[in-house]
Amino acid sequence: MEQATLRTAPNSTYKIYDALFVLEEGVITPDDSFMIWDGTNHPFELSAYWMQGALKISLSILSHMGIW
């Protein structure tokens, strides 16, 4: 029960909401955020690199929204 009342950050779940919101409001378009995959499989060790990219995109979205 204690954990149910503990306030925690939504973390990655919030990125989904942000992405849907800015797409709906026209702040960004799919054309603005299109990424071409070159077909290369990247090992799991690179996930930190990709997460940094996701963070940059999230911060960019938040700045467009005037939140960050």
Q: Give the residue numbers annotated as catalytic, written as ranges.
A: 12
Cα–Cα nearest to 9, from 46, 58, 50: 58
Three-class secondary structure assignment of 37-57: CCCCCCCHHHHHHHHHHHHHH
Q: Which residues contact 15 (CB under 8 A, 6 or more apart)?
A: 54, 58
